[in-house]
């Protein structure tokens, strides 16, 4: 939504008078949430997608905004009557919520370049594993950047409202991008050509690519489904409804690849579960039922799900909205928006520890490094100015590092002694802190451009340079020497929301998101 302030004689803001609710929604909400409330940059605003948000809370969100999101408050531009009318409107079911099944997905598929027509070797001189995919949300473009010369090699128009997280094939040749309105796009980084696109859902959260390069999984907010695609040509393979055994459906909050386990992990917004779904061709069936009788070595009453993608369900105590995995993808650290955090073991399928974390930790932006002879995990918080450092053996918080405000992204690299974190929200949004991983102390605060949000650090393949985004239409990538912390180069871009190094992503570097 856009935040609009109407001034009368330059003295005060005047609330908008009550108007037909459809017109109010179109003016203030449709840009982000879609003309039909089916979602876009923001989530779908339908009763089935608002199960966890009570009407009273929705009223407060529209009036005051929602902390740690791009949703700003409208109290100065909308009357109370308009706010209440909007709440009633978004909780009113649509006459017809469109479905999106296998036939719809298959019909949407577009082939730009046949795989057989692609080059047999890179058609450029850059290191294919030190490229960056830079998502420029300002004008809906993507730039492929040479990570050695820091020069753009290819810029192309993307689908609307890309989810920032670019994913790569295991060899780094292909990049896959997912948009909020459900499109999955495949591009060839050897020949700089688009390959194919398909719409996997109506309102999509994110995508993941299997470690064998065969599968793509897409998690959808609308419909409540998981879509599995063949990575080779983006043809649909399966659509799985996101439901528990009682029939309760849920938005899919995220899907992840777990390389050591040869499986995908799916997390949900509206059911207290996470699922593990194997793509290992040798994986055993998953037993879903119970043994009712046992005689002479026979088991009865057992229901199995065949592979691939049989669901192992891990029951949770609470809804978990954010996740982080240990290096072996055995333990899942999860946090809910209301402040509850815990660790679940995927093998035991149960909780193994609580976490002492408050202030909405952004676990999805957490990183790992070695400290004092063991691995620690550090995460920024979306509420309050803190970095929490957690011992991954004891699960104890060993330090809280005070920052100048709430942070969103934290990044590092095994070849640098420093971790970088932004101050994404609040008056100090133009600052970034550099933390010494050996002492857990802030050693420098950097201002890439005064008054403009500096965010989302990513490192080159060798860890020698750190790239920072200036989130502005007149923005830039700012390249820093990771040892001296001095600026090296500035590359103008249109609100570069994120950048993703091929090598760091395909090797699942401990210093970046997965």
Q: How buried is residue 379: exposed, middle or buried, by Cβ count under 10 Å (0-12/13-18/19+)?
A: buried
Which neighbouring-strand residues pair with 104?
Answer: none
Q: At 27, which helix (H) or strand (E)?
A: helix 21-28
Same structural domain, 208 and 298: yes
| Residues 166, 172: Cα–Cα separation, whole Å | 11
**Torsion angle, alpha carbons of 38, 42, 46, 47, to 10:** 160
Total domains in the chain come to 3
Same structural domain, 450 and 363: yes
For 29, 132, 419, 439, 466, the CA distances from 155, given in Å and listed in that order, are 30, 12, 30, 41, 21
Task: Please write the tens of the pLDDT for every residue from 12-55.
Answer: 333 444 579 989 989 999 888 888 898 888 888 988 878 888 88
Same structural domain, 388 and 301: no
Same structural domain, 74 and 154: no
Same structural domain, 168 and 31: no
Q: Give exposure, 426-460, as e/b (b: 16+ Cβ within 10 Å).
A: eebbbbbbbbebeebebeeebebbeebbbbbbbbb
Same structural domain, 175 and 43: no
pLDDT of 302? 59
Q: Which domain does 420 fall in, by range? A: 354-514
pLDDT (mean) for 350-354:
96
Using DSSP's 3-state secondary structure scheme, residue 169 falls into: coil
Task: Please write the tens of the pLDDT for every residue from 264-296.
Answer: 999 999 999 999 999 999 998 887 654 444 444
> Quick one: which of 326, 342, 341, 330 has its CA closest to 276?
330
Same structural domain, 412 and 307: no
Task: Please write the tens of the pLDDT for every residue from 420-479.
Answer: 999 999 999 999 999 999 999 999 999 999 999 999 999 999 999 999 999 999 999 999
pLDDT of 1? 38
Using DSSP's 3-state secondary structure scheme, residue 110 falls into: strand
Same structural domain, 255 and 371: no
Q: Is 339:351 a contact under the CB 8 Å cutoff? A: no
| Residues 194, 112: Cα–Cα separation, whole Å | 6
List for the chain the helix, strand, coil content (%; round to 5). Answer: 10, 40, 50
| Residues 427, 473: Cα–Cα separation, whole Å | 19
């Amino acid at each position: 939504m856009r935040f609009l302030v109407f001034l009368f004689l330059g003295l005060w803001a005047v609330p908008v008078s009550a108007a037909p609710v459809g017109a109010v929604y179109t003016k203030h909400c449709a840009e982000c949430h879609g003309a039909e409330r089916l979602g876009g940059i923001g989530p779908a605003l339908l009763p089935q997608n608002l199960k966890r948000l009570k009407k009273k809370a929705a009223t407060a969100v529209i009036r005051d905004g929602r902390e740690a999101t791009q949703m700003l408050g409208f109290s100065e531009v909308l009357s109370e009557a308009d706010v209440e009318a909007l709440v009633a409107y978004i909780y009113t079911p649509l006459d017809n919520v469109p479905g999106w099944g296998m036939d719809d997905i298959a019909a949407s598929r577009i082939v730009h370049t046949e795989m057989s027509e692609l080059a047999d070797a890179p058609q450029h001189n850059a290191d294919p594993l030190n490229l960056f995919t830079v998502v420029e949300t300002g004008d809906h473009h993507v730039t492929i950047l040479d990570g050695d010369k820091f020069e753009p090699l290819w810029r192309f128009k993307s689908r609307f409202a890309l989810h920032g997280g670019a994913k790569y094939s295991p060899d780094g040749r292909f990049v896959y991008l997912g948009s909020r309105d459900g499109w999955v796009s495949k591009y060839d980084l050897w020949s700089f050509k688009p390959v194919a696109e398909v719409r996997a859902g109506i309102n999509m959260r994110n995508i993941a690519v299997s470690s064998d390069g065969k599968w793509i999984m897409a998690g959808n907010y609308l419909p409540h489904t998981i879509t599995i695609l063949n990575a080779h040509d983006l043809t649909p393979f399966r659509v799985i409804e996101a439901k528990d055994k009682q029939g309760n459906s849920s938005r899919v909050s995220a899907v992840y690849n777990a390389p050591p386990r040869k499986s995908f992990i799916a997390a949900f917004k509206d059911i207290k579960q996470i699922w593990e779904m194997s793509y290992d061709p040798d994986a055993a069936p998953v037993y879903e039922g119970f043994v009712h009788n046992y005689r002479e070595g026979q088991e009865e009453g057992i229901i199995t799900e065949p592979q691939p993608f049989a669901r192992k369900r891990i029951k949770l105590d609470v809804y978990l909205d954010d996740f982080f995995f240990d290096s072996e993808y055995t333990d899942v650290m999860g946090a809910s928006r209301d402040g509850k955090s815990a660790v679940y073991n995927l093998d035991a399928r149960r909780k193994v520890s609580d976490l002492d974390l408050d202030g909405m930790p952004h676990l999805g932006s957490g990183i790992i490094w070695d400290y004092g002879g063991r691995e620690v995990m550090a995460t920024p918080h979306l509420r309050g100015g803190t970095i929490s450092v957690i011992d991954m053996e004891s699960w104890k918080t060993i330090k809280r590092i005070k920052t100048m405000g709430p942070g969103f992204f934290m990044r590092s690299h095994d070849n640098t002694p420093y971790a970088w974190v932004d101050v994404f929200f609040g008056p100090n949004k133009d600052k970034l802190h550099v933390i010494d991983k050996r002492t857990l102390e802030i050693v420098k605060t950097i201002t890439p451009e005064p008054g403009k949000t500096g965010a989302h650090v990513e490192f080159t393949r060798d860890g020698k340079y750190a790239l920072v985004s200036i989130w502005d239409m007149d923005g830039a990538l700012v390249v820093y020497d990771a040892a001296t912390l001095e600026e090296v180069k500035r590359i103008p871009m249109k609100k570069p929301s994120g950048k993703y190094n091929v090598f760091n992503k395909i090797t699942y570097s401990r210093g970046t998101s997965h």
